[in-house]
């Protein structure tokens, strides 16, 4: 609570010292909207890519398994900025042209998804072998065991690292300003060029990113509490 109060006080001082802040607030809010869109779109793509790649790597036939391994290694082993530039500047040479928002979502989503695939794989691999044996004893197929027994337990173990990945995704959205996407960072740079109020503008932007990351942290913790509720509860008397 003390930290929140200090942040609110500091934000108030910054806003009060920036006489023209209200004139530029609509532009910052439009940039914030783009940042949120890239974060949400990238998060959804990351989840889809991570679960698909992890399950293919663990259980799919060899060709799909090699494809999943190749995706994970390429996107983990190269820079997110280079991936962003490659999708934006190189794909048009192959006749594929995407708008900056789509490129930003795709690059950051696939990048985070590659890291998330290892989180998913590790969480599934961490489920006790006895759970698989119990599913086999109940005559379940592998798909049924995954869906009904293994994944519900693995999801709980995935939540903390996924929270960290979502925050990393949020912070990486500032890179999309380099492909002319008018996100929060892009708008802040434009306003700074017009006003030269660097300290005030980027302090406000810093607080905006911090507020978004706190929202992600709070949401993930609430989801973790909800999913773990009752898991360690003993039998009722």
Give the Cα separation of 193 and 197 in Å (integer).
8
Three-state SS across 39-66?
HHHHHHHHHHHHHHHHHHHHHCCHHHHH
pLDDT in tens, 181-201: 989 999 989 888 888 778 878
pLDDT in tens, 135-174: 767 767 767 777 777 778 888 889 999 999 999 999 999 9
pLDDT for res 117: 95
Give the Cα separation of 190 and 67 in Å (integer).
41
pLDDT for res 11: 60
- Residue 178 DSSP one-character state: G
- Distant-in-sequence, close-in-space partners of 111: CB < 8 Å, separation ≥ 6: 46, 75, 80, 83, 172
Instruction: Report residue 234's pLDDT band, with 50, 70 and 90 as the boundaries.
Output: very low
Predicted structure pTM score: 0.85
Over its C-alpha atoms, the chain yields an Rg (Å, rounded) of 22
pLDDT for res 14: 59
Structure tokens at 100: 């900056």
Structure tokens at 200: 């005030």
pLDDT in tens, 53-62: 999 998 888 8
For the chain, give the longest Cα–Cα distance: 71
Give the Cα separation of 151 and 124 in Å (integer).
7
What is the average per-residue pLDDT within 201-205?
Answer: 85
What is the average per-residue pLDDT within 117-140?
Answer: 78
Give the Cα separation of 198 and 186 in Å (integer).
13
pLDDT in tens, 73-85: 999 999 999 999 9
Give the Cα separation of 84 and 80 in Å (integer).
6
Give the Cα separation of 106 and 80 in Å (integer).
11
Run of H or E residues at 118: helix 100-125
pLDDT for res 44: 97
Is the pLDDT score of 134 beyond 80? no
Q: Is 186 exposed, middle or buried (0-12, 13-18, 19+ CB in 10 A)?
A: buried
């Amino acid at each position: 609570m003390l930290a929140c109060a200090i942040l609110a006080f500091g934000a108030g001082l910054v806003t009060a010292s920036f006489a023209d802040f209200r004139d530029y607030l609509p532009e910052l809010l439009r940039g914030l909207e783009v940042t949120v869109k890239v974060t949400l779109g990238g998060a959804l793509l990351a989840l889809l890519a991570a679960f698909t790649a992890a399950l293919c790597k663990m259980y799919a036939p060899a060709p799909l398994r090699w494809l999943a391994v190749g995706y994970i290694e390429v996107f983990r082993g190269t820079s997110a900025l280079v991936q962003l530039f490659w999708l934006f500047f190189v794909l048009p040479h192959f006749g594929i042209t995407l708008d900056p928002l789509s490129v930003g979502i795709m690059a950051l989503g696939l990048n985070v998804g590659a890291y998330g695939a290892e989180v998913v794989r590790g969480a599934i691999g961490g489920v006790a072998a006895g759970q698989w044996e119990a599913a086999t004893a109940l005559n379940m197929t592998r798909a049924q065991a995954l869906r009904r027994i293994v994944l519900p337990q693995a999801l709980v173990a995935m939540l903390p690292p996924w929270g960290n990945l979502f925050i990393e995704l949020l912070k990486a959205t500032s890179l999309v300003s380099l492909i002319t996407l008018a996100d929060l960072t892009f708008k802040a740079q434009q306003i700074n060029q017009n006003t030269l109020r660097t300290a005030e503008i980027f302090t406000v932007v810093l607080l905006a990113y911090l507020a978004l990351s706190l929202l992600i942290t709070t949401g993930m913790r609430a989801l973790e509490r909800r999913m773990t509720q009752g898991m360690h509860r003993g039998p009722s008397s």
